[in-house]
Amino acid sequence: MSPKTKWKIGAAIVLLSLAILLPEVVSAGWHIVYGQTVVFRSWKITVPFGWYAVRRGEGISVVRMSRLSWQDNPEATFLPVHFSKTYQFDYDAFAGVQSKLLRAKGYTPSGQEDIRIGNQSGRCWTFTSMTRRDQQWINCVAPKDLTSVDYKGPSAYASEFLSVMANIQHETPSR
């Protein structure tokens, strides 16, 4: 075997290994550069290994890269909720609007759970895709923080998302 052929085979093995390990490589690179946490508003969010965060407009998304390009990437999007300071938040009204919006996107309600986000109370509603039973959309809201979080992805990663929510810490903004 010629040295040129050996070099090509070696390069192919390295590239194949990187392709197979791409989610871990991207996540490791992100964690080396940015650390283990991101701050969104007053929330300090721990980003699990295998996930990375990206700012998008007013919000931030915590994304897990899928190994296969045709699979959906599980993603949690943190966004501000725009209510006036005097608005009396109503969980039932919020749930009704979310349910209507997600039904139009092909999801059906499948659960509800009260949660703690740092030292604040919140609530999550789980919706399941009507066409792809392994896909979930979990919508959470923390009314006192005027923040919502939407997880969209395979149900296999839903518990990891809920763990991220449970480990959020409140951070006092520096003045």
CATH code of residue 156: 3.40.1000.10
* pLDDT tens per residue across all 175 residues of the chain: 788 888 888 777 777 766 666 677 777 888 888 899 999 988 999 999 888 899 989 999 999 877 666 667 899 999 998 877 777 888 899 899 999 999 999 999 999 999 988 778 899 999 999 999 899 999 999 888 888 999 999 999 999 999 999 899 887 755 5
Tens of pLDDT, residue by residue over 61-101, are 999 877 666 667 899 999 998 877 777 888 899 899 999 99
Quick check: 49 and 32 in contact, CB under 8 A? no
The pLDDT, as a whole number, for residue 174 is 57
Residue 145 falls inside a structural domain? yes
Residue 122 falls inside a structural domain? yes
Residue 175 falls inside a structural domain? no
Number of structural domains (the chain) is 1
Residue 54 falls inside a structural domain? yes
- Number of CB atoms found within 10 A of residue 138's CB: 22
Report how far residue 47's alpha carbon sits from residue 35's, in angstroms, rounded to the nearest whole number.
9
Report how far residue 150's alpha carbon sits from residue 170's, in angstroms, rounded to the nearest whole number.
19
Q: For residue 126, give its domain range.
A: 3-170
Residue 118 falls inside a structural domain? yes
> Tokens 């390009």 — which residue?
69
